[in-house]
Amino acid sequence: MTAAWALVAVLVVPGVLAVPGALPAAAQTVPAPASVPSLVEPAAPGSPPVVPIPIPEIEARAAEVAALLRQSDARLADDPRVQDVETHLPEVTEWIRTRLIGTMEAVQAPSSSSAMANLAESWSLTHSRLQTWSQTLTRVAVELDRELSRLEALRTTWAASPAAETAWPIPEPVVDRMEATRRAIVLVRDRVATRRAEVLILQDRVVTEIARCDDVLGKIGQARREPAVSLFARDSAPIWSAAAGAIVITDIGPRLKRSVADSIELAKQYLRGQAARAPVQLVLFIVALGLLVRARARARQWRADEPSGSRIPGVFEAPLAAALILTLLATLLIYPRPPRAVMNLVALLTLAPVVLMARHLLPPALFPAVYALGSFFLVDRVRELCADMPVLEQRVFLVEIIVGMAFLALALRSERLMTAASGRLRSGTQRMLGWIVGGHMTILAAAVIGAVLGYMQLARSLGTLVLTSSYAALVLYAGVRIGKGLSAFVLEARPAATLLLVQRHREVLERRVGQALGWLASGTWAYLIIERLGLVGPIGSAVGVAMNARYARGTVSLSLGDVVAFALTVWAAIVVSRCVRFLLHEEIYPRTGLAPGQSYALSSLLHYAVILVGPLFAVSALGIDLNRITILAGAFGVGIGIGLQNVVANFVAGIIILLEQRLHVGDSIEAGDLQGEMREIGFRASTVRTWSGAEVIVPNSRLTSDRVTNWTLSDRKCRVDLDVPVAYTTDTARVLDVLRQAANAHPGVFTDPKPLVLCTGFRESGLTFQLRTWTRFDDAEIVRSDLALAVPSALESAGVRPGRPERDLHLWSTAVEPLGGLPEQTSRARGRDDH
């Protein structure tokens, strides 16, 4: 009996142990050998139970853990993100420390708007850099947390392997491998924990510097918004005061050097963060240079063809300068919100090519004005670098403005002499130039007075208004001329020259491109002036407040921004519809060979689709839920359908006409007593132009419900019938030949189908023949008239008598007394009435 139970235990118990869940967890745990102490730690409440590693898998799993630990060590040692922060954070901390005192002094003392803008941009760029570092360190800390969790899970698993006594002893090398793996996991975990602590400390330092930047930016913003910096507040000492004469010569050089270094560093930091966009600008320069070089030969050919003047005079003579101007002007489009230092750098780089291009675009008499404008712009940039030294800036500004006024006076006199000598300017243009130059002189005079009295903010604004507006106008004028020249060249060259719409409307397209460039240049000019005056922020805030002004009444809530978005969306839908139809009619349809009616139908359907979809997007822009509109449309649908059933019926009829393709624009139709040409198929009604020239508006439902004759549905062939009467005694064979010859001799008569002559019957005038010919519908009346004139002549030449009605006239006389003795007589006469 005992042997039997032993046999059952040997056969059953191993199978039960092999089934997961057949025994409790405690029973399934492999006991550890007596030589290995138990390292199992109690599991946290709610955490999954630790599954020990089976003894046979320890070697393989240990190798995997070793590889994972090596990867963790490599990530800790070679993480460039943390190294970049550790390397450059001391530099940023030192920059903040050294600039903090000077910034606070500038904030507390009246400073120019440009100086405050430069400070704001410098601190904003540093703040952005620190914010990027903080986000990077946050991601690294999260990754280290995950790594710690993974390593802790590994440590717990290996600590529980094996966790209890086993029936068989574990070899000593396996025990050593488990202990080594546990120690390696703990060592790497400790290093990761240490690195995590270092990252968190580094993150705290970054956050501290961000808080300092936030505080400084808040004070700068408050100082820029304070009324003390208004235009009519005295922010400097008068020129005659003792304070204005106190210039520390020894301090000028270091402060100028620091100002230049700050501007360069600000530009470098910004461009370093936008390095991914630099290739776009480089590609733009290469493409523009290639096009301009190719266009120079074409421009010279234009000059040879037009001795009186070129279409694009001189714009391609300096391709390198033109390419540089276009590339630098694209900075505002390529780089998002570039700082003032970058814009100053772009303006300085643009100066040389603009002056060179002006020699090819302007008359020689204006060259001195261009050179002077460039010189003043350079001096003004130097003056802006002196913004941290108000006294020196005041002196430089006065010299600059006074010299500018003197030059304007000379330029005004020179312009009058040039105009009187050459006579190239009209009197109205001359007066306009005089008013412009005089206005600039007046503004500069006001700037000089303001600078002398100490109102430097007002003086800077006025001087900037004149100088920046003039320089920006010159640069944008050159850009517009280059853009127009490039557009003309592109439209003249392949592949654009092969487009039908370009061949038909080249001048219109060039004019539209020029208008678009002009509007773009005007907007850019206005933005640059507003930005230089420091009004972008206030104007943007005012526009934002106005756009967010909301009208609420019941469930209806609308803002001015919503209304503007609605209007712009509807306008965009109309513009898109017009552009699509123009492209289809001018380029697509002529190449596809569609019939005029089919192309009109397709264009109309697309127009309806865009016009219907556009208001839906416009309503969405208003913030109105489309589900509500659906409910309202369902509620009012019945009433609208009853009240506007005729309009709806005509609209649906118009859609049916366009889809069925039975009536097309240009078809010649006949509907009841109405005959004419279909001119338009509209929403509600169609327009038919009668043969007498009247335009009749016909409801679409009439064209679908009544009988309509379309003379040109399949083709524009039309049969012309002409009845020809001849005498009974005529040779019919000769008549047939004469009529066929007369029809074939007319150039408007088709040879396929051939003219047909038939004898259609007998009449009192004789035999009647009918001449049937085919011609174009548009020429039917002319052909009928020509044949009616040619047939009688042809019959007469052939000796064929035309048919005339014949009558028998009988005369009777009664027996009466003869007169004069004449005998009684009866006479009979036959007469023939000719009609």
Distances (CA, A) of 345 to 130, 341, 342, 605: 25, 6, 5, 52
Band (624; pLDDT cuts 50, 70, 90): low
**265 and 205 together in one domain:** no
**204 and 279 together in one domain:** no
For residues 282-296, one letter each, b for 16 or more C-beta atoms within 10 angstroms of the residue's C-beta and e for the rest, the string is: eebbeebbebbeebb
Cβ atoms of 150 and 92 closer than 8 Å: no
Q: pLDDT over 90 for what percent of the chain?
A: 1
Residue 801 has pLDDT above 80, yes or no: no
What is the C-alpha to C-alpha distance for residues 68 and 58, in angstroms, rounded to an integer?
15
Residue 78 has pLDDT above 80, yes or no: no
Strand order in the sheet with 717-726: 717-726, 766-776, 756-763
Helix/strand/coil for 709? strand
Residue 547 is encoded by which pair of tokens? 């756009």
pLDDT of residue 691: 82
pLDDT of residue 305: 61
Least confident of 210-224, 298-312, 719-733, 795-809: 298-312
Q: Which of 612, 701, 623 is nearest to 655 (CA)?
A: 701
Position 212 in a domain: yes
Q: Which residues contact 534 (CB under 8 A, 6 or more apart)?
A: 113, 114, 116, 117, 224
Q: pLDDT over 70 for what percent of the chain?
A: 73
Residue 16 has pLDDT above 50, yes or no: no
Measured CA angle at 731 (ends 725, 737), to 5 deg? 80
Band (111; pLDDT cuts 50, 70, 90): low
Position 4 in a domain: no
**292 and 223 together in one domain:** no
pLDDT of residue 296: 80
Q: Could you give the residue ranges of the DSSP H alpha helices within 706-827? A: 732-745, 780-797
Residue 515 has pLDDT above 70, yes or no: yes
Band (190; pLDDT cuts 50, 70, 90): confident
Cβ atoms of 164 and 205 closer than 8 Å: no
Position 106 in a domain: yes
What mean pLDDT is predicted for residues 91-110?
Answer: 78
- Peptide bond preceding 336: is omega within 30 degrees of 0, i.e. cis? no
pLDDT tens figures, 51-75? 677 777 777 888 888 888 887 777 7
**463 and 356 together in one domain:** yes
Position 192 in a domain: yes
Residue 46 has pLDDT above 80, yes or no: no
What is the C-alpha to C-alpha distance for residues 472 and 351, in angstroms, rounded to an integer?
10
pLDDT of residue 163: 47
Strand order in the sheet with 685-690: 695-699, 685-690, 674-681, 668-671, 709-710
Cβ atoms of 277 and 283 closer than 8 Å: no
pLDDT of residue 714: 75
The last residue of a domain, from among 797, 813, 829: 797
Q: Which residues contact 524 (CB under 8 A, 6 or more apart)?
A: 332, 472, 476
Q: Which domain holds residue 103?
A: 51-229
What mean pLDDT is predicted for residues 162-167?
Answer: 52
Residue 42 has pLDDT above 50, yes or no: no
Residue 207 has pLDDT above 80, yes or no: yes
Q: What is the pTM of this model?
A: 0.58
Position 20 in a domain: no
pLDDT tens figures, 645-668? 677 777 777 778 777 777 777 788
What is the C-alpha to C-alpha distance for residues 63 and 276, in angstroms, rounded to an integer?
42
What is the C-alpha to C-alpha distance for residues 243 and 256, in angstroms, rounded to an integer?
20
Position 823 in a domain: no
What mean pLDDT is predicted for residues 444-460?
Answer: 82
The last residue of a domain, from among 502, 523, 541: 541
In eight-state DSSP terms, residue 498 is G
Residue 421 is encoded by which pair of tokens? 């000598």
Distances (CA, A) of 645 to 202, 681, 685: 75, 19, 14
pLDDT of residue 204: 92
**522 and 394 together in one domain:** yes
- Here the CATH number for the domain that contains residue 723 is 3.30.70.100
**283 and 368 together in one domain:** yes
Band (643; pLDDT cuts 50, 70, 90): low
pLDDT of residue 345: 84
pLDDT of residue 625: 56
pLDDT tens figures, 273-319? 788 888 888 999 999 888 888 888 776 766 666 554 445 556 777 88
pLDDT of residue 316: 79
The last residue of a domain, from among 508, 541, 574: 541
**190 and 74 together in one domain:** yes
pLDDT of residue 308: 47
Band (173; pLDDT cuts 50, 70, 90): confident
**213 and 306 together in one domain:** no
What mean pLDDT is predicted for residues 223-252?
Answer: 61
**220 and 263 together in one domain:** no
Position 355 in a domain: yes
Helix/strand/coil for 677? strand
Residue 159 has pLDDT above 60, yes or no: yes
Residue 154 is encoded by which pair of tokens? 């590994």
Band (43; pLDDT cuts 50, 70, 90): very low
**500 and 363 together in one domain:** yes
What mean pLDDT is predicted for residues 606-616?
Answer: 75
State the chain's mean pLDDT as an integer: 74
Cβ atoms of 745 and 790 closer than 8 Å: yes
In eight-state DSSP terms, residue 497 is G
Name the range with the highest mean pLDDT among 22-36, 111-125, 799-813.
111-125
What mean pLDDT is predicted for residues 190-214?
Answer: 89
Q: Which residues contact 359 (CB under 8 A, 6 or more apart)?
A: 367, 370
Q: What is the count of structural domains for the chain? A: 3
Measured CA angle at 476 (ends 474, 481), to 5 deg? 95
- CB atoms closer than 10 angstroms to residue 744: 13
Position 412 in a domain: yes
Least confident of 40-49, 185-194, 474-483: 40-49
Q: Which residue has the higher pLDDT, 228 or 281?
A: 281
Residue 166 has pLDDT above 60, yes or no: no
Q: Which residue has the higher pLDDT, 338 or 305?
A: 338
**298 and 215 together in one domain:** no
pLDDT of residue 636: 53
**193 and 295 together in one domain:** no
